[in-house]
Amino acid sequence: MYNSKIAGLGYYVPERVVTNDDLSRLMDTNDAWIRERTGIQERRFVAKDDGNTTSAMGTKAAKIAIERSGIDKDDIDFIIFATLSPDYYFPGPGVLVQRDLEIKTVGALDVRNQCSGFVYGISVADQYIKTGMYKNILVIGSEVQS
């Protein structure tokens, strides 16, 4: 049996920061109410004109993860992309990342479970690796919903 491991991590967040005070100017809420219930102080938002799509943000994070992993992108043999906000329904974002990173033709699976999607993606990748079906799987989680 083969064992899996996380070889590299990467992340990307949009530049635009929206605070709880910003939200309180748009709706009936306040910083204390939000923090008390969620612990959230600020969040990142995709601006309409910043070019950040689900796949674009996933690609940026994937580049960092691949670099940190020490694995050559040509050794990636499968892609799992977790999102509930794809750029398009077809083709899926995994294929778009594959194109944008210029990764050879490999399988790409989309997992649609939003918050827990990445966890399911890691679980599926683990099982694929344990069976010997794949060796190096790129798992990405990206959302444009905030």
The CATH number linked to 73 is 3.40.47.10
Structural domain including 104 reads 54-141
Which are the contacts of 41, defined by CB distance < 8 A and separation ≥ 6?
19, 20, 31, 35
7 within a domain of the structure (yes/no):
no
For residues 40 and 96, state if they share a domain. no
For residues 76 and 28, state if they share a domain. no
If one counts every other C-beta atom within 10 angstroms of the C-beta of residue 79, the result is 27
98 within a domain of the structure (yes/no):
yes
- Predicted confidence at residue 114, as pLDDT, reads 76
3 within a domain of the structure (yes/no):
no
For residues 37 and 107, state if they share a domain. no
Note if the bond before 91 is cis, omega within 30 degrees. Answer: yes
Q: Is the pTM of this model over 0.85?
A: yes
Q: Say if CB 102 and CB 75 are below 8 A apart.
A: no
1 within a domain of the structure (yes/no):
no
- Predicted confidence at residue 69, as pLDDT, reads 98
User: In a structure prediction context, what are the per-residue pLDDT tens digits for the chain, which is 146 residues long?
Assistant: 799 999 999 999 999 999 999 999 999 999 999 999 999 999 999 988 888 999 999 999 999 999 999 999 999 999 999 999 999 999 999 999 999 999 999 999 999 987 899 999 999 999 999 999 999 999 999 999 86
- Predicted confidence at residue 146, as pLDDT, reads 61
